Structure 1
Amino acid sequence: MQITQIQLQQISLPLQTPFVTAHGTTKLRITTLVTVYLDNGHSGVGELTAFTDSRYLPETQASAWTVLQHEIAPLLRGFEFTRPSELTTYLQQQLRGNQLACAAVETAVWAAYAKRQQQPLAQLLGGNVRPIPVGISLGHFATTTELLAQVTASVAAGYQRVKLKLTGPADVAQVAAVRARYPKLTLMVDANSAFTPADLPALQQLDQLDLALIEQPLANDDFVQHAWLQQQLHTAICLDENILTLADVQTAVALKSCRAINLKITRVGGLTTALAIVAFCQQQQIQVWCGGMLASGVSRAFDLALASRMEFTLPGDISASARYFKQDVLQQPLELRHGCLQLAATPGLGVTVDQQVVQQHLLKEKWLRL
């Protein structure tokens, strides 16, 4: 197989409500759909999930567009491969970092390859098409009353796990209020590095609230202090932002920095690396679950396909299309039924992009002819 063309479509998707984390507030999600066309007639769509600034990860929409146009596309000109994993290996040998840019192409190739193999992507990845239990990630709210209302709505909608975003030690009281209201709810928190080792007393308070996980409490590039903190807590620490490669997971396990990994497909460079991380975590008895990047339904479809594997026992951050966006880009938006989402059992990704919606939200478009 060879890639003959790559289509980049940058779009702007308004959120239903502002999404607040320790990194800032998002009201409008700018993202890029990346469609690859193969010489065998098949095509697949992926997504460049970088943000417009580097507060979460070093890559941005602007930097990744540059890499896609001036590095990845030239590298792939005339490149022959038989499986997506060969393309992944090649890009990793030729480039340093740039996981989000590489993943945008690599995941699209996986979708096209699944069509070629006449299989649903979920099945090709070792899972199966079935209803996938999912959770919801709630941004920070100024008042406990607002937060409790959102948690109540999420539980009523059927979400099987709720994650609360924290902005610092002052938010512990809100988490305690949620736990008091819902003593049996599968509840976890995500600090996005909003704590320091000096905040141990606040973290120990969280440790008393029967949480499934405490995600990324300390610095995004730290493994050593997280290992120290894990020794102080009964609750499992989950690493997120500092997991960019399989080697990062191996480092975390060697240092005992965590007992769980939030696996984000695009942040680790695509599905090939994601599968390697899943296998390693299974071997090391580290819990792995599927996180999200506040991305469109295209990325959520990849998340669902991966989360269909048996290793994923904790519902991931793969909420329904209507949870975040006023209008998603899928012809048939992902809808929550009995706490689950399900892809179509058709060859490929299992969703179809609605180009009419894309055109309504299009910021810019570029064709890269290989």
Structure 2
Amino acid sequence: MIINLESITLHRVQMELNSPFTTSFGTFHDKDFIVVEAKDADGTVGWGESAAFSSPWYSEETVETNQHVLEDFLIPALLEKTIHHPKEVAERFAPIRRNTMAKASIEGAIWDLYAKKCKLPLYQLIGGDRKVIDVGVSLGIQPSIDDLLTKVNRNVEDGYKRIKIKIKPGWDIDVIREVRQKFPDILLMADANSAYTLKDIDHLKKLDQFNLMMIEQPLAHDDIIDHATLQKEIKTPICLDESIHSLEDTRKAIELGSCKIINIKIGRVGGLTEAIKIHDYCAQHNIPVWCGGMLEAGIGRAHNIAITTLAQFVMPGDTAASSHYWRKDIIEPEVLVENGTIIVPESPGIGYEVDRAQLRDYTVSTKTYRSN
């Protein structure tokens, strides 16, 4: 199968969240992001989505830096060149350091396009075999514990398989205690988004009493050394998120004992190709993985569903229903969750159609790059 790209279009999109989403590093009211549309010479179209935020809170990447890197480096590296397989995209991008979310957005579009040309669902093309996946939900920091308990209760009633609570100093032990007391049997985890240091070891040890699945990225966003120290001191499994950008990061973290669980985000690691390598390595070393979320719209959500069908994704991910975040998503049908599960779509590619009318409504600018 050969891909001869005719054009790549960048849609700059802005979507308002149903309600503000607050973490230890900021509050989001909307999502400004880039949708990548890759069109082959035969008219086949593939879609990708950038996970970057408008500010460099989660990582150094932003929507603006993604636009620059896509326009000036990544798109020129692909246009007018024959692609035999999506894995070649990562190889062509290798000389360009980091910028993983920009890379993942365009690589995702190529994977979708290639799967459609092969007339296969993306999940089958990458080696997945689950027809149904379990999903959890991520709840931001709320105005009060009562507000949080109300949201937890609503999502438990909706059947979500796991509840993730964002924490930070001053909103942690007492909050988790209240949730655990009211919901003694749910799968519960805490996400710190790098809000603590090793000085907080004794404080973080208090989380051990609550039977948490894990605490996600408690220490610095670029650390694997201190996390190894912390993991030796606490019983709660540590899950690394922001620290893992590649297979090499994964290997080092596992060898050091920095974590017992890995969160795989396609955008954070540079695309599906690297994500699959990380998945396979974790499977070889008996490290559970799960798919984290970046407030994706439907295209990014669809890619997350596909990768979650791989065997080592043994924990519910963050791929909640479209309606959990958006009044109207940009795909048809929208991502639906029933009793905490998503039925994996069987149509070729990502399995969802882009609603072009809705995409236009949310689009603030569009630019197309064509092969000569």
- Which of the five TM-score ranges fits, normalised by the shorter chain? over 0.9
2:130–2:310 Cα contact (<8 Å) kept: no
What is the TM-score normalised by the length of structure 1? 0.97
Match of 1:321 in 2: 322
Match of 1:77 in 2: 79
Match of 1:273 in 2: 274
Match of 1:37 in 2: 39
Match of 1:149 in 2: 150
Match of 2:133 in 1: 132
Aligned partner of 2:50 among 41, 48, 51: 48
Match of 1:64 in 2: 66
Match of 1:232 in 2: 233
Match of 1:303 in 2: 304
Match of 2:22 in 1: 20
- SS of corresponding position for 1:272: helix
The 5-angstrom pairing of residues 82-97 of structure 1 reads 82-92=84-94, 94-97=95-98
Q: Displacement, 1:311?
A: 1.2
Work out the CA distance in 2 between the residues paired with 1:329 and 1:77. Answer: 26
- SS of corresponding position for 1:225: helix
Match of 2:367 in 1: 366
**CA RMSD for the aligned pairs?**
1.1
Task: Output one character per residue of 1:8-55: Cα deviation in whole Å (capped at 9) or x when no partner.
Answer: 111111111100001100001111110111234321000011111111
Report the residue type matching 1:186 in the other structure: L
Q: Displacement, 1:157?
A: 0.7
> Identity rate of aligned residues, in percent?
38
Matched, 1:286 2:287: yes
Work out the CA distance in 1 between the residues paired with 2:161 and 2:298. Answer: 19
Work out the CA distance in 2 between the residues paired with 1:267 and 1:126. Answer: 21
Q: Displacement, 1:235?
A: 1.3
Q: Displacement, 1:339?
A: 1.1
Matched, 1:259 2:292: no
- Segments of 5+ residues of structure 2 without an aligned counterpart are none
2:100–2:268 Cα contact (<8 Å) kept: yes
Work out the CA distance in 1 between the residues paired with 2:17 and 2:107. Answer: 27
> Where does structure 1 differ by over 4 angstroms across 4 or more consecutive aligned residues?
none
Work out the CA distance in 1 between the residues paired with 2:10 and 2:79. Answer: 16
Match of 2:247 in 1: 246
Work out the CA distance in 2 between the residues paired with 1:148 and 1:173. Answer: 12
- Segments of 5+ residues of structure 1 without an aligned counterpart are none
Work out the CA distance in 2 between the residues paired with 1:120 and 1:76. Answer: 23
Q: Displacement, 1:297?
A: 1.1
2:77–2:92 Cα contact (<8 Å) kept: no
Work out the CA distance in 1 between the residues paired with 2:54 and 2:89. Answer: 27
Q: Displacement, 1:169?
A: 4.7
The 5-angstrom pairing of residues 103-142 of structure 1 reads 103-128=104-129, 130-142=131-143
1:169–1:202 Cα contact (<8 Å) kept: no
Higher alpha-carbon deviation: 122-131 or 105-114:
122-131
Work out the CA distance in 2 between the residues paired with 1:329 and 1:195. Answer: 36
Work out the CA distance in 1 between the residues paired with 2:348 and 2:78. Answer: 25
Report the residue type matching 1:98 in the other structure: N
Work out the CA distance in 2 between the residues paired with 1:156 and 1:134. Answer: 14
Matched, 1:158 2:125: no
Work out the CA distance in 2 between the residues paired with 1:57 and 1:134. Answer: 25
Work out the CA distance in 1 between the residues paired with 2:156 and 2:85. Answer: 41
